[in-house]
Structure 1
Amino acid sequence: MTSQGKAALVIVDLQNDFCPPNGALAVPSGRDIAPAINKLLALPFALKIATRDFHPRDHVSFASQHAEKQPFTSNHTITNPENSQETQETVLWPDHCVQDTPGCELIPELETSKLHLIVDKGQDKRVESYSAFGPPFRSPRVSMTRLAATLREAGITHVFVCGLAWDFCVKATAIDAAKEGFTTYAIHDACRGIDRSAKGSVATREEMEKHGVRVIGLDSGELDMVRAP
């Protein structure tokens, strides 16, 4: 991109099921960030990627798959199917972003013609994958996407993350990008969270920053490396 490096834009899960008014798991005001993200898509990022939850109908994160469990209020412990010592605690959700349904598709307001790639995650019914890089299991890695390899193959050094939801999939994707060694930014005003409280938003920001993610705004100077000719 410039002498400073090459930047990628990763737009997380801007899908119908995550947006009002009819999304099965709608994030408050989730659809409202589309204009800001389209402005980012107009910038000359070296790589522009959108991610999608792409779940089978019997995905482990669906409350409907667990007897006497309720969405939003019930939790479930997921075990790495290849290593019983690794576990993940997750909230159970309503059925959402089921493969080949309208709810799984990117919202029509998003200028998808400017995307270079769509990365589908959460396809393994056994494990949850908030991060676009894959589930949190590492010993061994299970059901990972090729996102890290794709970024490296393109020579990407900097990753800018936006989308839905700030406190779940955006957070997990940004933290994993930083762990993979990319200089990572989360663009807070091009995101929306499930927890809209000030306390929840700050806690998410602090967790990302603890892992090396830099939280910025749409007008931040860090985007100058993309705007530069």
Structure 2
Amino acid sequence: MSAIELGQTALLLVDMQNDFLHPEGAYARGGAKSDAIAALPARLKPVAEMMREKGGWIVSTQFTLVPGKNGAPFISPHLRELRPFLGKGDFAPGSFGQALIDDLAPADISVEKVAYSAFYMSRLEWVLGRAGIKHLVFAGIVTNGGVASTLRDAHVRDFHTTVLSDGCAAFDQSVHETAIASMKGIAEINSCADFLANLD
């Protein structure tokens, strides 16, 4: 990968946020934990550092629960059923929980998202275009949710896409593996180690 190509390439960190991953975050408080997800920050840190060093971009999507009256968040019915522990203050704009985890910060561009796909009703496509980014390298959580949905929306927008197979995770390993397999038709699939080797 050339320096010019890297200037048009972004590591897209999908939902690598404190409320999902930090021991004091909303998911940990609610008992929704995964060893595979917890292992991601250490695995992705060298990738993020190398991208910065080589002139690539770091783009972070930030799942957000928008507060309504009295600060109570708007939560979609399917998410309310899946994660009934979510409440006031969780994933709130500008909060500790909404922020990118320290191991991967800072991002060059951060975009709030309200659904699985970071392209849905957001400014993501606009800022990527302004930055001249044409190649998105996907990492984050969950493989079958935010990662897959955002990847498919990137594909129909003619972005070149790569997925870091061990830089993504889900709450179930078989679900993760099925999701990775389903992306092979629309994205390059690399391990973190192979991707780093290509950057050297």
TM-score between the two structures when normalised by the length of structure 2:
0.77
TM-superposition CA deviations, 1:143-200 (whole Å, max 9, x none): x21211222222222110101111211111122111210110111211221222x2x2
- In 2, are the aligned partners of 1:159 and 1:182 still within 8 Å (CA)? yes
Match of 1:146 in 2: 123
Matched, 1:173 2:155: no
1:179 maps to a residue whose letter is V
Q: 110, 133, 136: which one pairs with 1:118?
A: 110
Query: Could you say if the C-alpha distance between residues 204 and 145 of structure 1 is closer, same or farther in structure 2, counting changes exceeding 3 Å?
Result: same
Structure showing greater Rg? 1
TM-score between the two structures when normalised by the length of structure 1:
0.68
Q: 61, 66, 85: which one pairs with 2:76?
A: 61
Matched, 1:203 2:178: yes
Alignment of 1:9-158 (within 5 A): 9-19=11-21, 21-25=23-27, 26-29=32-35, 30-43=37-50, 44-56=54-66, 57-61=72-76, 71-72=81-82, 94-95=85-86, 96-112=90-106, 115-122=107-114, 129-134=115-120, 144-158=121-135
- In structure 1, the residue corresponding to 2:192 is in which secondary structure? coil
Match of 2:9 in 1: 7
**Percent of counterpart pairs with the same letter?**
24
Matched, 1:161 2:176: no
- In 2, are the aligned partners of 1:20 and 1:27 still within 8 Å (CA)? no
Match of 1:89 in 2: none
Q: CA deviation at 1:55?
A: 1.0
Higher strand fraction (1 or 2): 1
| CA root-mean-square deviation | 2.6
2:140 maps to a residue whose letter is G
Bigger CA drift: 100-109 or 32-41? 100-109
**Aligned equivalents of 1:166 and 1:46: distance in 2?**
23
2:104 maps to a residue whose letter is L
Give the gaps of 5 or more residues in structure 1.
65-69, 73-91, 123-128, 135-143
Match of 1:215 in 2: 189
Higher helix fraction (1 or 2): 2
1:195 maps to a residue whose letter is D
- In 2, are the aligned partners of 1:12 and 1:52 still within 8 Å (CA)? yes
- In structure 2, the residue corresponding to 1:103 is in which secondary structure? coil
Runs of 4+ in structure 1 over 4 Å off: none
Give the gaps of 5 or more residues in structure 2.
67-71
Q: How many residues align?
A: 182
